[in-house]
A and B are shown apart, each in its own frame.
Chain A
């Protein structure tokens, strides 16, 4: 009699465990399927943009000064004499084998260009999201715990400004103020001109590379250049993260278990951080993921303003030169990263929350 419940419990635990792994496996498969499907959708859209909308995609690639032979050769080389589904199939195969075509303006393959420019964007967006999280989360929590206070009002205004201020404008104003007038930060670009090219790219992240090379001076110079564009990005993610944190926290603070904690005599600081904040860590991860993906997108504008040699700058240059391969390649890469972060944060939600496990 005393033996039985234990065995039953063990069996039950084992059964639950295998059920859990199966459920997890299914979740992973479903995740892969939706990511692939969404990615195919993205390919369909870029294909549509590149091959269907332009009245003459060949012209868009070779330019209007090309001779007839060049034109015809390009047309066949691009497979434009074949039916659309076949063309799409070739396009998908090419993309998955890592071929995004040649860039007209740089003369290199788009993949090579992108891998050269991507780290600069990544560095800026990452510092931006760190600023956004480190400031945005505590501000949101404080705003919610002192609803109606001055801090709460400030967070509200900041949140609204984050929705209504053009990022490129804030970047320009920042440059005019902190660079031109106050001289607190470095100007456009990743480094002062005379430091350029002194550090061998290893990771492509200048902060890391300069430290690896032991070049402290260059590291600090890179920091002064990075701080303004990253702060501008940080402002927008701060606005969004603080607003969402505040709304999640308000939701939690009105829950019954928060009252329970107060009934127990738990100090207010712990009521807020341990009881109200802990349950929202998981949904916050999703918000932060979305915000990070949004920063990658927002960096297009910011990079233009700060002449930041990243993927956004590459994209805008390509746009102005009608360099379609480069445009579609960057769209594809930014889109893919965006989709991936989006879906990952969605899945993390389900993996990390004890209620959903």
Chain B
């Protein structure tokens, strides 16, 4: 039996085989959609760039060359140099590490947090639900960026605080999704069966409810990542996110502001990196949604 047959078997023999088969089917469906392939490629390139930055970047991210400051794009400096003579191309490459860190940490903090709150609210219902969802709704009807700004203002500028602030403002959407999913799962027969076997609520939620929320969660997180990147860049731009000399893309644009009228490349180049990576997440998120949740197309 070939691996493909094993993956596509109608009645899988183990949980591993079932999961692998499902993943394979999602993967092949994604491959049929050119935009999601493009999105996946962009994200793959982002990850590789971040991992291989020391080898890919032609110059160091902080090495100054004052004799060569504000040089326009050329063969030696593909994206030109900034006001301290640093190679912008190299800094954009090093910056991918920061972007990836922000995106990853925000997803790792906010998604599980939202998932847990939503699942608990949906599972227990009653007052727990009302209080938790009341808080969620309040957060949801608030401007995210402004809230993140205020949090960073209180916590102090810096990349870690920026990550915390963004995570604090992005969990509510996940809580809503998780609650909605939990509500539909909660009354199903198999949950009743698990409960009858005496499983504790924690076990039911973690072991049975949460896994079923993952697919809608993955779609939403992927789609949200573009927004996270933009917010992080915005914080960097205002001067509250990553601090110099870190090559964070938003902060780089902010440095280039002063020279925008004559040396346009300083501010423009990092922007392209932001756009491409955000688009990558949008494409992949759209594709995932079409494959995993065809109902909600276009919403």
A contacts, CB < 8 Å to B = 37-38, 41-42, 45-46, 49-50, 53-54, 60, 160-161, 163-169, 172-173, 175-176, 179-180, 246-247, 250-251, 293-294, 296-298, 300-301, 304-305, 315-316, 318-320, 322, 324, 327-328, 330-331, 334-335, 338-339, 342-343
Contacts and interface: CB of A to CB of B under 8 A. Distances in A.
Contacts of B145: 297-298, 300-301
B257 A305 contact: yes
Contact of A324 (B154, B274, B281): B154
8 contacts: A49-B154, A161-B279, A164-B281, A172-B260, A173-B264, A180-B264, A247-B298, A304-B237
A165 B154 contact: no
A200 to B, nearest CB: 31
A47 to B, nearest CB: 11
A298 B238 CA distance: 13
Interface stretch (B136-144, B198-206, B214-222): B136-144
Nearest to B227: A163
B278 A164 contact: yes
B146 interface: yes
B154 A320 contact: no
Chain B interface SS verdict (over half): helix
B274 A169 contact: yes
Nearest to B270: A169
Interface in B250-299: 250, 253, 256-257, 260-262, 264, 267-268, 271, 274-275, 278-279, 281-283, 298-299
Interface pairs A-B: 7 shortest CB-CB: A164-B278, A41-B138, A169-B271, A247-B298, A297-B143, A180-B261, A53-B154
A346 to B, nearest CB: 9
A175 B234 contact: no
Contacts of A38: 137-138, 141
Contacts of B262: 180
A37 B134 contact: yes
Contacts of B155: 53
B66 interface: no
B135 interface: yes
Contact of B268 (A54, A173, A304): A173
Contacts of A50: 154
A164 B226 contact: yes
B233 interface: yes
A328 B143 contact: no
Given A163-B282, A166-B274, A175-B260, A315 B142 contact: no
B141 A49 contact: no
B73 interface: no
Given A166-B253, A335-B143, 16 more contacts: A45-B147, A49-B151, A49-B154, A53-B154, A161-B279, A163-B278, A164-B229, A165-B278, A166-B237, A166-B250, A172-B256, A246-B298, A324-B154, A330-B146, A335-B146, A342-B141
Nearest to A333: B146
A331 B154 CA distance: 12
A161 B227 CA distance: 12
B240 interface: yes
B298 A300 contact: no
A49 B152 CA distance: 9
B108 interface: no
B102 to A, nearest CB: 14
B48 interface: no
B31 interface: no
* Interface-central residue, B142, B153, B233, B260, by most chain A CB under 10 Å: B153
B47 interface: no
Contacts of A163: 226-227, 278, 282
Contacts of B72: none
B46 interface: no
Contacts of A294: 143
B271 A164 contact: no
B239 interface: yes
Contacts of A173: 264, 267-268, 271
Nearest to B249: A166
B149 interface: yes
A322 B153 contact: yes
Nearest to A326: B153
Contacts of B253: 166, 168-169, 172
Interface in B144-169: 144-147, 149-155
B149 A160 contact: no
B264 A176 contact: yes
B230 interface: yes
A226 to B, nearest CB: 19
Contacts of B283: 160
* Interface-central residue, A294, A316, A319, by most chain B CB under 10 Å: A319
A46 B274 CA distance: 30
A324 B153 contact: yes
B141 A339 contact: yes
A319 B271 contact: no
A43 to B, nearest CB: 10
Contacts of B234: 166-168, 301
Contacts of B279: 160-161, 164
Nearest to B286: A160
A299 to B, nearest CB: 10
Contacts of A247: 298-299
B37 to A, nearest CB: 15
A334 B143 contact: yes
* Interface-central residue, B149, B274, B299, by most chain A CB under 10 Å: B149
